[in-house]
Structure 1
Amino acid sequence: MWSNEPRSLPDWIEDAYQILVSEMPDQQTDFSHDQAQDLLLGAETFPDESADAEYAIERLLDSGWLYEVDGELRITDPEN
């Protein structure tokens, strides 16, 4: 069920979302889990452990900040 409640995640996971948003040319761009992980691990402000990147991606998916279509990730509209 959708809610108007603000979506809240730990700051470092929200930072991961901002990294992905800033690296994608538009929100309709599909990218793989591996590409998302590489983007996060390449960012100076993100922890450099692959387990942290995978955890952040999974939390973003679980919380609706990212969604998956045919095995590819997409960014949910940051305004919502």
Structure 2
Amino acid sequence: MWSNEPRTLPDWIEDAYQILVAGTPDQQPNLSHEQAQDLLLAAEEFPAEPADAEYAIERLLDSGWLYAVDGELRITDPER
């Protein structure tokens, strides 16, 4: 059965989103894939494994919290 409720992500992936929002200037809410990974791996509250950073970015992309344009990642809604 389909539901109109938004899908939720695991807390650690939502935390990754907040890390990316906090690490992105308001005037330019986009970053390269590498910059996003570096921000996540530098955060103390995020697992220090590159595979975890990649997985979180992919889940954020799949869920529409991030989107990719011309090789850059953009934050969909920094007010979330």
Q: TM-score, normalised by structure 2?
A: 0.87
Deviation at 1:28, TM superposition (A): 4.1
Q: Percent identity?
A: 82
RMSD between superposed Cα atoms in Å = 1.8
- Cα distance in 2, alignment partners of residues 71 and 13 from structure 1: 21
The equivalent of 1:12 in structure 2 is 12
Deviation at 1:6, TM superposition (A): 2.7
Q: Count residues with an aligned counterpart.
A: 78
- Cα distance in 1, alignment partners of residues 29 and 79 from structure 2: 17
Name stretches of at least 5 consecutive residues in structure 2 with no aligned partner.
none
* Greater mean deviation of Cα atoms: 18-27 or 56-65: 18-27
Instruction: Please tell me whether the aligned partners of residues 27 and 75 of structure 1 are also in contact (alpha carbons under 8 angstroms).
Output: no
Structure 1 stretches of 4+ moved >6 Å: none
Q: TM-score, normalised by structure 1?
A: 0.87
- Cα distance in 1, alignment partners of residues 27 and 51 from structure 2: 25
The equivalent of 1:76 in structure 2 is 76
The equivalent of 1:53 in structure 2 is 53
Bigger Rg, which one = 2
